[in-house]
Chains A and B, each alone.
Chain A
Amino acid sequence: MEPFVRLKAVAAPYELANVDTDRIIPARFLRYARSAEYASYLFRDVRFASDGTPRAEFFLNRPEYAGARILVAAENFGCGSSREGAVWALAESGFRAWIAPSFGEIFHENTFKNGLLPVTLPAERAARIRALLAAKPGAELTIDLSAQTIALPDGSVEVFEIDAFRKECLLNGWDDIDLTLKHEAAIAAYESRQRNETPWLAGSMIQTRNGGRSS
């Protein structure tokens, strides 16, 4: 994966709370394998009218946000389903980082898994950034992951917290499957314990094939 170190880019503010993943990508697109097409699914039903014309009032349709790569959202952004398509639709549209007071947990995890950065800030600080950006559409933010800072258009700097494990993965662009496989001994030890202590969990799925009650 491409490492995430520093990002200087136009940031788009989105005022709505509880933006769910159905809004980010409607379920009818999930049947398709990931491709560049995912960019066209982003916020599809709120961004475009049913005949495909862009809705002028939708924030991402403003020309100033055409090159935006950072999204600054409100509470509980990405709540709802586990669909990773929500992250893919944002990523294929050029976004690499999102800032909000809180995130849907699975969406938050999916973000890291794609080498992208979710930044959690207290509500009033996230709101201040949205207000600054709204006052100056097209303004840029600079996110420095090693320093855990965001430089704002008014010259001030926000500091953010991030899980040390995820930070390391992002900075190095690590695929954590490789990282995990270094723990093979611990995995194997659990599996042998499972066979001894809870043998019904070791292999029972393919042994028993018939039967079943429904109520």
Chain B
Amino acid sequence: MGLSLYEKIWARHAIAKGAGERSLLYVDRHLMHDGSFHAFSALEASGRRLRRPDACFATPDHYIPTRNRAAGIAGIADATVRGRVEGLESNARKHGVMLFGFDDPRQGIVHVVGPEQGVTQPGMVLVCGDSHTSTHGAFGAMGFGIGASEVAHVMATQTLWARKAKTLRVTVDGALTKGVSAKDVILAIIAKIGTAGGNGHAIEYAGSAIRSLSMAGRMTVCNMSIEAGARCGMVAPDDTSCEYLSGRAFAPKGTDWDKALAFWRTLPSDADAKFDREATIDGSALVPQVTWGTSPEYGGAVTDVVPDPERESDVVRRESMLRALAYMDLAPGTPLAGLPMQRVFIGSCTNSRIEDLRAAAQVLRGRKVSIPTMIVPGSGLIKQAAESEGLHRVFAEAGAEWLGAACSMCVGTNGDLASAGERVASTSNRNFEGRQGQGVRTHLMSPAMAAAAAVRGAICDVRTMLD
């Protein structure tokens, strides 16, 4: 029987067996950010050293301000927050880790910068102390998020004890129609399989709709695997991924490039590979998606209405829906289109790449936003690229705020928070209670849909605004 992409990477990296079903997995790349201080402290307290500084890459993102960047680190008002950014820089220097720091024009969200720099490559095991490490699976890598103790374990040993996941193949066939993007694909997948649907599984995304996506689109899909409960989600490497990697700073060069290409070509799942589970979605039937609740699975088509919990037969789920609707202040039967928004956030490791910014600009060009709108690029280089295309002028003329690269209002740890009671049209990945500020109500959607909401001041079907 043939092997799947996940099984091939697993077999190559499982270097020892433990009791039960555990294997010791070698980690090729370890990404770090300004939340990594917990693990650095643990490493130092244990008196151990960082085993492979050459396999680590660090850039601060969670605690980085989006405004007044010219003031430097000293411009961060909160001393604890400032300490986190300084701490990453001093830890990286002390341990000899490659760092794109606060002042580096290449700094950005670690899940955006890693791929952009060619750090992420097919066939590798890559970890980071952040759950959205699943993003890197877009390259046919096994990327997964870990907690601080596991980060400290990787620092000391370059390995992790892991249990082989079951495999779930999600096939999306058919051509996406105008106004439907990778974000709509993944939101529809999560609405279908649920936020626990991928628990214990590694997802492989396949099918013609996935193959047709750019690397940015594939990263958006893999990014939200964790919202489907799966620690890792991946897409087989192909010409699109190899072309993307060619010439990137940390991608292989010269004869190594040829060897790497040959190796990467062996990775896609064999035709007779067996998956533990399969799910399929008709890509051609998808319409733009919006979430209405406090779990990413609580979403549907923009043309739908808020569902009625009383029609849910499962008691636990009904309770949870009722609670979500109370927090969101929504009544069953309310149409999603037309729901007033008070703020828009376009950014995060899900949707802050140049393609996302272009999609937002296409809607904003020649129009004005009617509510406060933040546009936060995923990296300094994306910011430069957008400006060289003139996108910043489109945003400025529309009245949106064009900011510096950071996680920003995805999680608000840098202070970019909305106010209680506000509804935010957000391109990020989590609509949990309080995620964007206490009492804030988050509606997840694509960059084009968020831009449309910015113009109308309400959720609207972006397809009515594209010609």
Q: Which residues of A contact B (CB under 8 A)?
A: 15-18, 20, 22-23, 26-28, 30-34, 45-46, 50, 74-76, 79-84, 87, 102-107, 109-110, 113-114, 127, 163-168, 176-177, 179-181, 183, 186-187, 189-191, 194, 197-206, 208-215
A105 touches B157 (CB 8 A): no
A83, A179, A202 — most chain B CB neighbours (10 Å): A83
With contacts A22-B432, A165-B18, A215-B382 known, is A183 near B148, CB below 8 A?
Answer: no
Identify the closest chain B residue to A46 (Cβ). B433
Please give, as numbers and ranges, the residues of chain A lying within 8 Å of B257 by CB-CB distance: 200
With contacts A168-B19, A176-B161 known, is A205 near B316, CB below 8 A?
Answer: no
CB distance from B215 to the nearest CB of A (A): 10
| CB contact between B249 and one of A30, A80, A212 (< 8 Å): that residue | A212
Instruction: Give B184-220 interface residues, CB cut-off 8 Å to A.
Output: 195-196, 199-200
Chain B positions 139 through 168: 1 when the CB is less than 8 Å from some CB of chain A, otherwise 0: 000000111111011001111010100000
Question: Taking the complex as formed, is B65 at the interface, i.e. its CB lies under 8 A from any CB of chain A?
Answer: no
Q: How far is the CA of A89 from the CA of B247 in the complex (A)?
A: 45
Question: Taking the complex as formed, is B37 at the interface, i.e. its CB lies under 8 A from any CB of chain A?
Answer: yes
With contacts A31-B413, A211-B249 known, is A80 near B430, CB below 8 A?
Answer: yes
Q: Which bucket holds chain B's interface residue count?
A: 35 or more
Q: How far is the CA of A155 from the CA of B119 in the complex (A)?
A: 56
| CB contact between A180 and one of B24, B96, B247 (< 8 Å): that residue | B24
**A-B residue pairs, 8 tightest by C-beta:** A164-B20, A214-B381, A200-B252, A113-B149, A110-B147, A84-B147, A165-B22, A76-B196
A212 touches B106 (CB 8 A): yes
Question: Taking the complex as formed, is B402 at the interface, i.e. its CB lies under 8 A from any CB of chain A?
Answer: no
Q: How far is the CA of A17 from the CA of B298 in the complex (A)?
A: 13
Question: Taking the complex as formed, is B457 at the interface, i.e. its CB lies under 8 A from any CB of chain A?
Answer: no
Question: Taking the complex as formed, is B303 at the interface, i.e. its CB lies under 8 A from any CB of chain A?
Answer: no
Q: How far is the CA of A110 from the CA of B152 in the complex (A)?
A: 12
Identify the closest chain B residue to A76 (Cβ). B196
With contacts A23-B433, A183-B15, A213-B248 known, is A190 near B98, CB below 8 A?
Answer: no
Chain B positions 418 through 429: 1 when the CB is less than 8 Å from some CB of chain A, otherwise 0: 000000000000
A-B contact count (CB 8 A): 230
Q: A165-B18, A203-B54, A212-B249 are known contacts; what are 13 more A-B pairs with Cβ within 8 Å?
A: A17-B320, A26-B438, A31-B84, A81-B430, A83-B147, A106-B146, A163-B20, A165-B22, A191-B158, A201-B29, A205-B29, A206-B54, A213-B248
CB distance from A108 to the nearest CB of B (A): 9
| CB contact between A22 and one of B156, B355, B382, B433 (< 8 Å): that residue | B433
CB distance from A165 to the nearest CB of B (A): 4
With contacts A176-B153, A176-B161 known, is A82 near B131, CB below 8 A?
Answer: yes
CB distance from A144 to the nearest CB of B (A): 19
With contacts A16-B320, A176-B161, A186-B16 known, is A45 near B150, CB below 8 A?
Answer: no
Please give, as numbers and ranges, the residues of chain A lying within 8 Å of B116 by CB-CB distance: 212-214
27 inter-chain pairs at a CB distance below 8 angstroms, sorted by A residue, are A16-B323, A17-B317, A23-B433, A26-B434, A30-B35, A30-B413, A31-B84, A103-B199, A104-B229, A107-B147, A109-B147, A113-B150, A164-B20, A165-B18, A177-B153, A181-B157, A186-B15, A203-B54, A205-B29, A205-B54, A205-B55, A209-B249, A210-B249, A212-B116, A212-B248, A214-B382, A215-B353
Q: Which residues of B contact A (CB under 8 A)?
A: 13, 15-16, 18-22, 24, 26, 28-29, 35, 37-38, 41, 46, 48, 53-57, 63, 80-81, 84, 96, 98, 106, 116-119, 121, 123-124, 129-131, 145-150, 152-153, 156-159, 161, 163, 195-196, 199-200, 226, 229, 231, 247-253, 256-257, 259-260, 263, 295, 316-317, 319-320, 323, 353-355, 379, 381-382, 384-385, 411-413, 430, 432-435, 438
Q: How far is the CA of A200 from the CA of B120 in the complex (A)?
A: 12
Q: How far is the CA of A103 from the CA of B98 in the complex (A)?
A: 34
With contacts A31-B81, A180-B157 known, is A79 near B147, CB below 8 A?
Answer: no
Please give, as numbers and ranges, the residues of chain B lying within 8 Å of A16 by CB-CB distance: 319-320, 323
A76 touches B379 (CB 8 A): no
B195 touches A18 (CB 8 A): yes
Q: How far is the CA of A22 from the CA of B412 in the complex (A)?
A: 12
With contacts A45-B434, A205-B55, A214-B381 known, is A76 near B229, CB below 8 A?
Answer: yes
With contacts A106-B131, A110-B147, A183-B15 known, is A199 near B54, CB below 8 A?
Answer: no
A32 touches B80 (CB 8 A): yes
With contacts A180-B24, A200-B252 known, is A187 near B146, CB below 8 A?
Answer: no
Q: How far is the CA of A67 from the CA of B178 in the complex (A)?
A: 57
Identify the closest chain A residue to B353 (Cβ). A215
Please give, as numbers and ranges, the residues of chain B lying within 8 Å of A164 by CB-CB distance: 19-21
With contacts A82-B129, A106-B145 known, is A180 near B161, CB below 8 A?
Answer: yes
| CB contact between B316 and one of A17, A30, A34, A213 (< 8 Å): that residue | A17
